[in-house]
Structure 1
């Protein structure tokens, strides 16, 4: 089945689109990547999305408008991808997260906008959407969902699969358990500091951080955030690490760092909080935009063993999350769970996200007919074929 996946992360920099050919046989999920693209957001819509993110309180009217406008933009991206990457049989949309509700260390709900009916109306294909809520309803965090792809693809070797997007997350593999969770800020605080300094959207390659000096007083104060003491699994987002977070945390500090020194300090914060959650592994496989930050990658190589990129192992690190959603959509229409087990010897037991049981993720628009027959054998490994040129 050819599956087209659409997603947009916490950085709201583009709509990620990936097309994959997926099939399964005797417990093996086989994926051939067919192409990846980044579709720029219409600038005015991107500004509205960013303005609606925490700590803003936009109200139900703006949420309603964004649900429609984001759905229409995703529909346009799906139609354009069908022209450039090739036809699909199924669309999977993660949508754009506006709020991830976590209280007392437990996820209570999550909100992604991008009404799937608009995507279906634009491209005529069935759409899998709302990929996180079922896991939360089963007691999980609804994140990081990439842990399933990590377990199927990289399981068997003592590995930490690290994704550094706006928020960084890690999946620890190799033993009897699968452990996952958000480590804390990835690029989100760095991006906000870069914008405040000179208007650039992010610190490309770590250029600004490379000219700064880490402020140890500020770093130590930032590291006292109680979030870092919570055990995995855990989840977070811009609700916690919002654009004003750093100023609030450092308000009591005289002469707090600015400019390149602040960028260097926040890059070190990301590296240190990632490293604090990684233990007992032989390699660390990095994906996401943070893999392009040379200062961050240099610090990770100093702090952690065997740091490599997902791209070097055969899966484009910039497209990994989009391909994940293609996998989750395919499993959904096959009636298969979309989360990894907490213990590998209990495949039908509690999940590494914290959920009490396996659940099929997502809903289908329109609700019938399903685009394929249900599976009879669960998948236990992922084989990635060479990307089609």
Structure 2
């Protein structure tokens, strides 16, 4: 069946869309990527989303309007780019929406909020929509993240060495997949800390909003790491927590950087600040992966286009081959949209959208809720067995 996955990450770079032709053959899911792309946000909508992140405050009227505007934006993206990639109306749309808040209290996720009302997508396209992909895992005691572990465990499992999938969005998350013969219960997945979130926030403030990220890490490359500031940033207790764990912009935002600078009590040149924040990502990712000694690290997300960040990771992980997801058939900007398509496909076939135990949930649960399209909702008979492998078809 043809499934369009759609979503936006915490960097709010744009609406990522991917169309996949997915087929379940016994224990193997075969995925043919029909195409992928990104639809830019309307600048006013993007600004309002960024302003809504903590420590921003919204009234219920604002939440309602943002939910509607995001739903309409996702609907437009699916009806235009998604339909073009799929060759017409897809069989199913799977929408992650836009995360606005991930409520973590004492290491436990109490709730999570993704906006982008799916009824707008169903109305615009006529296709059924699977949405709200994280809440069932949270209700079962899980962190609700990283959902990427579902794709990664099927995609990178069964190799002769331990693989780690690293996604560098606003927040960095990893999935560690042991080599052949290891049970799925040995898979580990968690957020390591900030990836692009802090750098993006500093760049946006320094440029007065003209720039939104450090292109190719050029700013960081021009600076020097401030070791004293780096030590202050590394003192955050999130890094010492054991997985499973998750975090977001409710913790790692511009105020986090400013608090460290206030403690430092001296000026730090802009390029040195970028170099230090980039080094923070490199260090925290490398430290998080060190206990697992991966032989290969597959990088995706916007940070995969940051040459300074990739060079830093390659140097910090000397025993691992660092590559991008493109070397495995998936564009770096499309992997999460592909994941969302897979999660919708699994739900449609009555299969769990998480790997048992990886997120801390008591049980693996079906992901999301289904909004009917224009026609009657007819689901297939539930698949008898869960897949154990994902093949990306050339």
TM range (shorter): over 0.9
The 5 Å alignment of 1:202-281 reads: 202-279=213-290, 280-281=293-294
**What does residue 360 of structure 2 align with?**
354
Q: Does structure 2 retain, via aligned residues, the 8 Å contact 1:21–1:31?
A: yes
**What does residue 309 of structure 1 align with?**
324
The 5 Å alignment of 1:1-389 reads: 1-85=1-85, 86-87=87-88, 88-156=90-158, 157-174=161-178, 175-176=182-183, 177-198=186-207, 199-279=210-290, 280-304=293-317, 305-341=320-356, 351-366=357-372, 369-386=377-394
* Whole-angstrom CA distance in 2 between matches of 1:267 and 1:169: 15
1:30-73 superposed Cα distances (whole Å, 9 cap, x missing partner): 10000001001111111111111111011211111111111111
Q: Describe the SS at the equivalent of 1:269.
A: helix
**What does residue 346 of structure 1 align with?**
none
Q: Describe the SS at the equivalent of 2:38.
A: strand
Q: Describe the SS at the equivalent of 2:6.
A: strand
Stretches of 4+ moved more than 6 A in 1?
A: none
Q: Does structure 1 retain, via aligned residues, the 8 Å contact 2:16–2:333?
A: no
> CA shift at 1:117, angstroms?
0.8
* Whole-angstrom CA distance in 1 between matches of 2:83 and 2:332: 24
**What does residue 345 of structure 1 align with?**
none
> CA shift at 1:113, angstroms?
0.6
Supply the RMSD in Å over aligned alpha carbons: 1.2
* Whole-angstrom CA distance in 2 between matches of 1:166 and 1:193: 13
* Whole-angstrom CA distance in 1 between matches of 2:307 and 2:294: 22
* Whole-angstrom CA distance in 1 between matches of 2:267 and 2:349: 53
Q: Describe the SS at the equivalent of 1:278.
A: helix
> CA shift at 1:375, angstroms?
1.1
**What does residue 347 of structure 1 align with?**
none
1:115-143 superposed Cα distances (whole Å, 9 cap, x missing partner): 11111111111000000000000000010
* Whole-angstrom CA distance in 2 between matches of 1:276 and 1:103: 24
* Whole-angstrom CA distance in 1 between matches of 2:22 and 2:333: 19
Q: Does structure 2 retain, via aligned residues, the 8 Å contact 1:213–1:260?
A: yes
* Whole-angstrom CA distance in 2 between matches of 1:20 and 1:313: 15
Give the stretch that moved more between structures: 171-180 or 213-222. 171-180
> CA shift at 1:250, angstroms?
2.4
Give the TM-score of the pair, scaled to structure 2: 0.93
Q: Does structure 1 retain, via aligned residues, the 8 Å contact 2:17–2:82?
A: no
Number of equivalences: 377
Give unmatched runs, 5+ long, in structure 2. Answer: none
* Whole-angstrom CA distance in 1 between matches of 2:23 and 2:217: 39
Q: Describe the SS at the equivalent of 1:361.
A: coil
Q: Does structure 1 retain, via aligned residues, the 8 Å contact 2:93–2:127?
A: yes
* Whole-angstrom CA distance in 2 between matches of 1:90 and 1:241: 34
Give the TM-score of the pair, scaled to structure 1: 0.95
Which has the larger helix fraction? 2
